[in-house]
Amino acid sequence: MILITGGRGAVAVHLTALLHEAGLPVRVGSADPDALTPPAGVATVRLDLTDPATFPAALAGADSVFLYASPAGADDFVRHAERAGVGHIVLLSSTSVLGPDPENNVVAASHLAVERALLASPVTTTILRPGAFASNARGWAWAVKAGRPVSLPFPGAHTDPIHEQDIAEAAFAVLTEPRHHGGRFTLTGPESLTFAQQIDRLAAVTGRPITINHVTGEEWKREVTDFIPAAYADALLNWWESHDGRPAPLTTTVEDLTGRPARPFTTWATDHSADFTTA
State the pLDDT at residue 264: 98
Distances (CA, A) of 59 to 89, 95, 106: 12, 27, 29
- Give the span between the Cα atoms of 93 and 208, in whole angstroms: 34
Q: Locate all alpha helices (DSSP H) within 120-229, ordered by sequence.
A: 141-146, 164-176, 195-206, 217-224
Q: Which tens digit of pLDDT belongs to each residue from 130-180?
A: 999 999 999 999 999 999 999 999 999 999 999 999 999 999 999 999 999
State the pLDDT at residue 178: 96
State the pLDDT at residue 108: 85
Distances (CA, A) of 6 to 11, 104, 125: 9, 26, 18
Q: Could you say which residues of the chain have pLDDT below 50? A: none
Q: Which among 182, 129, 118 is positioned nearest to 160, based on CA atoms?
A: 129
State the pLDDT at residue 103: 85
State the pLDDT at residue 70: 79
Expressed in angstroms, the distance from the first to the final Cα of the chain is 40
State the pLDDT at residue 69: 73
* CB neighbour class for 179 (10 Å; exposed up to 12, middle 13-18, buried from 19): exposed
State the pLDDT at residue 16: 97
- Report whether 89 contacts 82 (CB < 8 A): no
State the pLDDT at residue 107: 84
Q: Which domains does the chain have, with CATH numbers?
A: 2-130 (3.40.50.720), 132-163+189-248+263-279 (3.40.50.720)
Check residue 6 and report its DSSP letter: S
Q: Which among 37, 45, 38 is positioned nearest to 61, based on CA atoms?
A: 45
State the pLDDT at residue 157: 97
State the pLDDT at residue 52: 94
State the pLDDT at residue 101: 84
Q: How many CA atoms lie within 13 A of 198 on its CB side?
A: 32
List of E strands, the chain: 2-4, 26-30, 43-46, 64-67, 88-92, 124-130, 150-152, 158-159, 184-187, 193-194, 212-214
- Report whether 170 contacts 258 (CB < 8 A): yes
Q: 158 forms bridges with which residues in the sheet? A: 194
